[in-house]
Amino acid sequence: MIWPENKKFAFTIIDDTDCATIDNIKPVYDYLYSKGMLTTKTVWVHASRDGFLGQHLEDDAYKKYVLSLQEKGFEIALHGVGSGKFSREEILLSMNIFKETLGYFPRIFINHNENSDCIYWGKQRFSPLFGFFYNIARKIQKKRKVESGGSDNESSSFWGDFCKRNVEYIRNYTFNGINTLKYDNKMPYRVSRKAAYSNYWFSSSDGKNIEKFCKLLKKEKIDHLVSENGLCIVYTHFAYGFCVNGELDTRFIEIVDYLAGLDGYYAPVGQILDYLRTQREKDNLLNAIQESTYDFRWLIDRTINEIRGKLK
């Protein structure tokens, strides 16, 4: 892959807003900005209606802070209008609040947990055969069914028509490897069976918390990413241990310093996905075989994570 300005590789981060407060994320963004790294931050419009914590755009101080990030060049995306159940009327009103606050409707949407407003999530997230077995696995594990009300026009949480008109990119798979493009060389791609209420889909690399972030971004792995002219889209939660009692984790500082010293293309995820589209003559459309291949890659990575977790 040839990156803008002949950069050797590309790197960005998506910060999931779960549990995020000004106190636990501001030092992280301050440091990224000081090193010239502009990334993507997700937000909620409303306060959580379930057990998840975190600030939201109804909080004036937090809204002011999010606007300051936008002014610096960070991209603001949506992680659902809030954590919990919201009706279509509430969702559409929230989209207008998002636009009134930030000046545009969200281009990037990240499904949140098991929200009823998720777009093609749960069983619908995967190819039909894999989705069937996914539901069986959840029943065996006694986990409740994940709704995809956002893309179900009979659901009270349906907003897929709005999503199709305004949301450009939705995240799907998260893989263990650092070179996201190596796992998903079609992104951003379209899926025919999801075409009614979505546009493009993309993948990310798993850096869920500070421990996984540091494991994913070891120096030797970053060097390998550079040698492959690759792309890393890290999916993480800055609220999960990156800053404790106002102090940044020193490992995070070392990783960012090392990346900043390399010849990388650092931009928010939307900008990188836009660039990938300009490098192709036509859109990538995943067929059933390709989608199933991605499903199995994802399953293998999830299984590895489960095994590692049990061995700890």
Supply 92's token pair.
């559409």
What are the sequence ranges of the domains in the chain?
Answer: 4-311
Contacts of 303 (CB under 8 A, 6+ apart): none
CATH class entry, domain 4-311: alpha beta
What is the predicted pLDDT for the residue at 306?
73
Of all residues in the chain, the percent with pLDDT exceeding 70 is 95
Phi, psi of 280 (to 5 degrees): -125, 150
* Strand-pair partners of 189: 201, 284
Torsion angle of the four alpha carbons 83, 304, 186, 192, in this order, in degrees rounded to the nearest 10:
-60
Q: What is the pLDDT along the chain (312 residues), one digit of tens a residue?
A: 899 999 999 999 999 999 999 999 999 999 999 999 999 999 999 999 998 999 999 999 999 999 999 999 999 999 999 999 999 999 999 999 999 999 999 999 999 987 999 999 988 888 887 777 676 766 665 566 667 899 999 999 999 999 999 999 999 999 999 999 999 999 999 999 999 999 999 999 999 999 999 999 999 999 999 999 999 999 999 999 999 999 999 999 999 999 999 999 999 999 999 999 999 989 999 988 899 999 989 988 888 887 776 554
